[in-house]
Structure 1
Amino acid sequence: MAAQARMRSARVLVVHLGALGTEITKNLVLSGIGSLCIIDDKVVSTQDLETQFFVGKEEVGIKRLAAAAPRIQDMNPRVNLDFVAEDFRNKPDSYFQQFDLIVATDLDSFEITKINNISRKFSLPLFVAGLNGLSGYIFVDLIQFDATDDKLKSSMPTSVGQVSERRDVLTVLDHYNEEQNKTYEQIVTRNIYVPFEKMVREGTLKGKLTKRQLKRLTNAVPLTLALLYGTEGSKHVTSEILKEKAKKMCVQLGLLPENLQQRYIDQFSEQAGLEFAPVAAILGGAVAQDVINILGKKQSPLNNFVVLDGISLDMHIFEL
Structure 2
Amino acid sequence: MSMTQPQKATTGELNKLSEDEIALYDRQIRLWGMAAQANMRSAKVLLVNLGSLGTEITKNIVLSGIGHLTILDSHIVTEEDLGSQFFLSKDDVGKSRLDAVGSKIKDLNPKVTLEFDNGVVECKNKEYFSQFDLIIGTELNKTRSTELNKITRSLKTPLYLAASNGLFSYIFVDLIQFDAVDEKIQSMKPTTIGKVSSNREIIDVQTYKAEDDEKIVHEKITTRNYYKSFEDMLQTATLEGKLNKRQLKKVSSLLPLTFTSLVSDIPIETLSQEKLQELVIQVCEKLGLATSNISNEYVEQFQRQTNTEFAPVSAIIGGALSQDVINILGKKQAPLNNFIIFDGITLEMRIFEL
Higher mean C-alpha displacement, 219-228 vs 260-269: 260-269
Secondary structure of the corresponding residue to residue 57 of structure 2: helix
| Mapping for residues 34-73 of structure 1, pairs under 5 Å | 34-73=67-106
1:134-149 mapped onto 2 (5 Å cutoff): 134-149=167-182
Structure 2 match to 1:100: 133
CA distance in 2, matches of 1:151, 1:218: 32
Q: Percent identity?
A: 51
CA distance in 2, matches of 1:129, 1:265: 20
User: SS of the counterpart of 1:308?
Assistant: strand
Deviation per residue, 1:150-205 (Å, 9 max, x gap): 12221121111110112110111112332577432111110110011111121000
Distance 2:308 2:268 in 1: 10
> Unmatched 5+ residue regions in structure 1?
none
Q: Write out per-residue CA displacement over residues 251-281 of structure 1, whole angstroms, 9 at most, x where no aligned residue.
A: 0110012431111111111112210111101
Q: C-alpha displacement at 1:92, in angstroms?
A: 1.3
Aligned counterpart for 1:7 among listed residues 17, 40, 44: 40
Shift of 1:241: 2.7
- Cα pair 1:170 1:189 within 8 Å, conserved: yes
Give the gaps of 5 or more residues in structure 2. Answer: 1-33
Q: Which region of structure 1 is more displaced relative to structure 2, 180-189 or 169-178?
A: 180-189
Q: Deviations over 1:86-105 (max 9, x none)?
A: 11111112110000000000
Matches within 5 A, 1:108-187: 108-179=141-212, 182-187=216-221
> Is 1:264 aligned to 2:312, yes or no?
no
2:289 alignment partner in structure 1:
255
- Aligned residue among 335, 343, 346 for 1:301: 335
Specify the code of the residue in structure 2 equivalent to 1:304: N
For 1:162, give the aligned amino acid. K
> Residue 108 of structure 1 contacts residue 233 of structure 1 at CA under 8 Å; is this kept in 2?
no
Alignment-mate amino acid for residue 278 of structure 1: P
Question: Please, which moves more after superposition, 277-286 or 239-248?
Answer: 239-248
* Equivalent in the alignment of 1:25: 58
Checking the alignment, whether the CA contact within 8 Å between 2:182 and 2:222 is kept in structure 1 is yes
Structure 2 vs 1, CA of residues 163 and 95 (structure 1 numbering), >3 Å: closer, same or farther? same
Which amino acid is 2:157 matched to?
A: L
Q: 1:221 aligns with which of 233, 250, 255?
A: 255
Equivalent AA in structure 2 for residue 243 of structure 1 = Q
- Which stretch has the larger CA shift, 68-77 or 177-186? 177-186
String of CA shifts for 1:69-128, please: whole Å, max 9, x gaps.
111000100000000011111111211000000000011111110111111011110000
Q: Secondary structure at the match of 1:98?
A: coil
CA RMSD of aligned residues (A): 1.3
Establish whether residue 193 from structure 1 lines up as the match of residue 227 from structure 2: yes
1: CA distance, partners of 2:292 / 2:249: 12
Q: Please give the alpha-carbon distance, in whole angstroms, between the structure 1 residues aligned to 2:223 and 2:273.
A: 42
| Alignment coverage as a number of residue pairs | 320
How do 1:271-290 and structure 2 match up within 5 A? 271-290=305-324
- Following superposition, the deviation at residue 230 of structure 1 comes to 2.2
